[in-house]
């Protein structure tokens, strides 16, 4: 009783309910219809056999013709029911049209019931007592036998039983016998009881089918889930293999890397290091692993990664590049190293370890020191005496020392020119060195550009005369001021003018134009000279860049002028460039922001 109970009572097991409710009702109906149809052959055979037995028994009565008619009815109905069964079996729409097949079945059940009802109505009153008992027994049997047959759908059973019961009840009630009349009153009650049982069974079947489908669905879901899990497992394995491969690749990179690499934990304890690190610090890996990197590798005087600095690096967990710091090798030799620290963090931002890439910059720093020494030598040991040599030669060449032999004059002039070139070179080298090392300071002031340009023309006139080139300014901008370092802007103008003069043809002219657009003023220095060769254009602002060194030797120059100009103009928030000039020659230009004073005056 218990299992049926729990299956039939939907309120007993809430888990069962939600599971059963998830079944597809159409599939449940199709299953129930299939169940009834599958029982049909037994039902048809049983009904037919009982009908034959009944016909044989009842034929002894007075109405043989009616018995034959009834038997014919039974045969016809049996054939029709078999036809229905056969069509159902062959049907391809069993599942999708289950409701229609159930309706056909209900008609067939009603017809079967009615055939028995007909037998009851016709044969009961016309037979002797024993046959009446036999018939009543038979009818009770077919009513009861219909319960397991049709209970999967209780309305079908109700129709079937009604077809039998109601004609029989009518016959009993109108027979004229008191006992039969009383039985007639009880039969509808039996009918109701049987239908109730069928209804109950119907529920049992229904929830059974629902459960079956729900479990079927669960199994399908489980299989799909299993497949997904398997697929994900495969992907995971693949990913693991890839991670392992890239891990091996990384390890290989670190091992072969010429840069020292150390892995440390959050306390700066060394976890791992590559051969380059062993070379750099002179320790074997086993000697360093487990030791504190800051205490072991840095010279004690060096505070670069002292307690607080390391702690704040760990807290911020941001990559950090340290300035060169003194480190001590195992053999006691001091080396300068540049540390780049990269924290490795997981997705939650927790620090896993720190990777330090260490570059030995001892030689770089030494080279830098030597360079500084060299520039200082250039500045003091060469420039100072050279300036006095040039001064002396200028005096001699000016004629104040009296008339001199023409050959001597030629020689002293060559000496002065070359000494001047040497001084220019030294000055340019010192300039560029100063700019690039960041030691160079600008003194910006409001300058009237027009005046400055004319001044530069005057200053460069004698230089231009040497190349028989005229310097001409057109379109001035009186009153317009720019904020710039006067001396440096003059240096730029001088360089551009002298270049233009140097690379112009004899008798040519260098023209200077000034124009203003928006907040910028532009100065163009244009010549009709040789032009800039195509393959030199992208190098022209580089250091020691010269298109034709033979020509430059002849005309003078260091290849540093434009490099200095570019850096100076950019430091004064300007822009410098060049373009080909229509009709031949080159046009160099620079643009500078217009000073505030002028902008206000302009308004």
Whole-Å CA distances, 549 to 92, 528, 577? 97, 20, 22
Shorter beta-carbon distance to ligand ADP: residue 23 or 514: 514
CB within 8 Å of 369: residues ≥ 6 apart: none
Whole-Å CA distances, 496 to 396, 438, 503, 590? 30, 24, 11, 10
Shorter beta-carbon distance to ligand ADP: residue 104 or 589: 589
Shorter beta-carbon distance to ligand ADP: residue 476 or 531: 531
Say if residues 37 and 88 touch (Cβ distance below 8 Å): yes
Q: Which among 56-64, 378-386, 390-398, 541-549 is the span making contact with ligand ADP, rule CB under 6 A?
A: 541-549
In the complex, what is the shortest distance from the CB of residue 560 to ligand ADP, in angstroms, rounded to a whole number? 6
Determine if 435 is a binding residue for ligand ADP (CB under 6 A): no
In the complex, what is the shortest distance from the CB of residue 539 to ligand ADP, in angstroms, rounded to a whole number? 9
Say if residues 440 and 418 touch (Cβ distance below 8 Å): no
In the complex, what is the shortest distance from the CB of residue 437 to ligand ADP, in angstroms, rounded to a whole number? 20
Written as six digits, the tokens of 465 are 């005369």
List 339, 546, 569, 591, residue binding ligand ADP (CB under 6 A) = 546
Shorter beta-carbon distance to ligand ADP: residue 61 or 542: 542
Whole-Å CA distances, 97 to 88, 89, 195, 214, 490? 10, 13, 26, 21, 101
Alpha helices in 449-560 (DSSP H): 449-466, 486-502, 549-555
In the complex, what is the shortest distance from the CB of residue 430 to ligand ADP, in angstroms, rounded to a whole number? 15
Determine if 532 is a binding residue for ligand ADP (CB under 6 A): yes
- Binders in 493-522 for ligand ADP, by CB under 6 A: 495, 499-500, 503
User: Which residue in 190, 108, 104 sits closest to 141, CA to CA?
Assistant: 190
List 194, 336, 460, 558, residue binding ligand ADP (CB under 6 A) = 558
Residues in the chain: 603
H or E stretch covering 309: helix 307-316
Determine if 422 is a binding residue for ligand ADP (CB under 6 A): no
Q: How many CA atoms lie within 13 A of 591 on its CB side?
A: 10
Q: Which among 310-318, 335-343, 413-421, 529-537 is the span making contact with ligand ADP, rule CB under 6 A?
A: 529-537
List 39, 392, 397, 552, residue binding ligand ADP (CB under 6 A) = 552
Determine if 8 is a binding residue for ligand ADP (CB under 6 A): no
Q: Which among 250-258, 393-401, 476-484, 523-531 is the span making contact with ligand ADP, rule CB under 6 A?
A: 523-531
In the complex, what is the shortest distance from the CB of residue 584 to ligand ADP, in angstroms, rounded to a whole number? 11
Instruction: Please enumerate, as own/partner, the contacts of 279-288 that have beta carbons within 8 Å and a separation of 24 or more.
Output: 280/329, 280/335, 280/337, 280/358, 280/360, 281/327, 281/329, 281/330, 282/329, 282/330, 282/331, 282/333, 283/330, 287/330, 288/262
Shorter beta-carbon distance to ligand ADP: residue 206 or 431: 431
Determine if 353 is a binding residue for ligand ADP (CB under 6 A): no
In the complex, what is the shortest distance from the CB of residue 449 to ligand ADP, in angstroms, rounded to a whole number? 21
Determine if 545 is a binding residue for ligand ADP (CB under 6 A): yes
Query: Is residue 24 classed as helix, strand or coil in its secondary structure?
Result: coil
User: Which residue in 509, 522, 532 sits closest to 580, CA to CA?
Assistant: 532
Interface residue list for ligand ADP (CB under 6 A): 495, 499-500, 503, 527, 529-530, 532, 540, 545-548, 552, 557-563, 586
């Amino acid at each position: 009783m218990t299992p049926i109970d729990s299956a039939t009572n939907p309120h007993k097991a809430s888990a069962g309910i939600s599971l059963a409710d998830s079944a597809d009702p159409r599939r449940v109906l199709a299953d129930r219809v299939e169940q009834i149809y599958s029982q049909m052959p037994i039902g048809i055979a049983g009904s037919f056999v009982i009908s034959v037995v009944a016909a044989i028994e009842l034929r002894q009565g007075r109405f043989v013709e009616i018995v034959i008619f009834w038997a014919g009815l039974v045969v016809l109905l049996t054939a029709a029911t078999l036809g229905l069964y056969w069509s159902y079996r062959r049907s391809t729409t069993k599942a999708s049209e289950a409701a229609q097949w159930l309706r056909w079945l209900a008609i067939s059940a009603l017809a079967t019931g009615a055939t028995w009802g007909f037998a009851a109505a016709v044969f009961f009153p016309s037979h002797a007592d024993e046959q009446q008992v036999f018939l009543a027994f038979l009818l009770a049997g077919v009513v009861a036998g219909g319960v397991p047959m049709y209970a999967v759908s209780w309305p079908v059973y109700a129709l079937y039983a009604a077809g039998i019961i109601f004609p029989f009840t009518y016959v009993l009630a109108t027979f004229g016998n008191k006992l039969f009349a009383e039985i007639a009153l009880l039969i509808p009650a039996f009918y109701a009881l049987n239908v109730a049982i069928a209804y109950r069974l119907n529920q049992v079947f229904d929830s059974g089918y629902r459960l079956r489908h729900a479990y079927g669905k669960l199994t399908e879901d489980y299989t799909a889930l299993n497949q997904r899990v398997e697929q994900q497992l495969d992907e995971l394995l693949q990913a693991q293999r890839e991670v392992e491969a890239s891990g091996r690749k990384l390890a290989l990179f670190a091992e072969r890397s010429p840069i020292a690499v150390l892995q440390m934990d959050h306390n700066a304890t060394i976890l791992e290091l590559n051969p380059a690190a062993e070379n750099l610090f002179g320790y074997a890996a086993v000697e360093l692993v487990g030791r504190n990197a800051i205490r072991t590798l840095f010279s004690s005087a060096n505070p670069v990664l002292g307690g607080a600095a390391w702690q704040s690096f760990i807290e911020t967990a941001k990559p950090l590049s340290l300035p060169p710091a003194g480190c001590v090798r195992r053999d006691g030799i001091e080396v300068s190293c540049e540390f780049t620290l990269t924290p490795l963090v997981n997705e939650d931002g927790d620090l896993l370890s720190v990777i330090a890439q260490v570059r030995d910059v001892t030689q770089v720093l030494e080279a830098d020191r030597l360079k500084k020494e060299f520039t200082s030598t250039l500045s003091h040991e060469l420039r100072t005496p050279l300036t006095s040599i040039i001064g002396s030669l200028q005096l001699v060449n000016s004629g104040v020392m009296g008339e001199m032999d023409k050959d001597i004059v030629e020689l002293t002039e060559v000496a002065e020119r070359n000494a001047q070139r040497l001084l220019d070179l030294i000055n340019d080298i010192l300039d560029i060195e100063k700019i690039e090392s960041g030691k160079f300071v600008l003194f910006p002031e409001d300058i009237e550009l027009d005046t400055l340009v004319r001044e530069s023309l005057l200053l460069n006139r004698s230089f231009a005369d040497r190349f028989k080139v005229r310097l001409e300014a057109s379109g001035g901008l009186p009153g317009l001021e720019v904020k710039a370092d006067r001396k440096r802007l003059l240096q730029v103008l001088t360089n551009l003018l002298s270049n233009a003069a140097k690379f112009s043809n004899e008798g040519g002219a260098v023209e200077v134009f000034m124009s203003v657009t928006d907040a910028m003023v532009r100065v163009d220095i244009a010549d009709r000279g040789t032009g800039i060769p195509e393959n030199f254009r992208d190098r022209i602002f580089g250091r020691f860049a010269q298109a034709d060194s033979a020509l430059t030797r002849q005309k003078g120059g260091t290849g540093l002028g434009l490099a200095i100009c570019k850096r100076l103009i950019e430091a004064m928030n300007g822009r410098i460039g060049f373009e080909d000039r229509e009709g031949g020659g080159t046009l160099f230009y620079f643009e500078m922001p217009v000073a505030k004073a002028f902008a206000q005056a302009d308004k």
